Amino acid sequence: MTESPVLIVPGIGDSGPRHWQTLWQARHPGWQRVEQRDWDRPRCDAWVQALDAAVAACAGPPLLIAHSLGCLTVVHWAGRAPRRVRAMFLAAVPDPRSPHFPAGAEGFEPLPLDRLPCASLVVASRNDPFGSSGHARRCAKAWGSEFIDIGEAGHINVASGHGAWPEGWALLSRLTQRAAPAPS
């Protein structure tokens, strides 16, 4: 799919063994996961620092594949970091103002609404308890991202029936085809 480095950017609690991010990574052993010191009490600055270190360790501009709070980490990082990335795949963007937003997550507001520096895709569900499709659509517009509403798909995780998520894989393939070519 891509010759670029790939970084998996999970949300709160990391992505378990049956989550699509983990299953995709298992199919591609060269892909790396951004590791956080505290998966259960996220602090935006610490998560952004971990992402920045992971991007810096890549041989070239990576493709970022984020889910949930990982999406917010990516957009906060993009506004602060001078490093380049090839593309951003952002699934289930949560709303920090939602009553379901994790109470222990700190520093993710205000949500950056600057245009992202590369090709990006926001994938949303109409019944995601952590962020409405309307919220994700507004974010995508501000970020200059393509927006895909996949219908009633919950939080696009294992609990909502998204194990290997082949539809997501097809969307990722589409994003990488329109992104800047991988450096040779």
- How far apart (Å, rounded) are the C-alpha atoms in residues 167 and 149? 12
Q: What is the pLDDT of residue 161?
A: 84
Report the pLDDT averaged over residues 10-16.
96
Query: What are the tens digits of pLDDT across the range 101-151?
Result: 999 999 999 999 999 999 999 999 999 999 999 999 999 999 999 999 999
CB atoms within 10 A of CB 129: 14
First-to-last C-alpha distance (Å) of the chain = 15
pLDDT category at 100 given cuts 50, 70, 90 is very high
Edge-to-edge strands, sheet with 87-91? 32-33, 6-9, 63-67, 87-91, 119-124, 146-149
Report the pLDDT averaged over residues 168-184.
86
* Domains of the chain listed by start with CATH number: 6-178 (3.40.50.1820)
Q: Is 54 helix (H, G, I), strand (E, B) or coil?
A: helix
Query: Which helix (DSSP H) or strand (DSSP E) does residue 9 occupy?
Result: strand 6-9
pTM of structure: 0.95
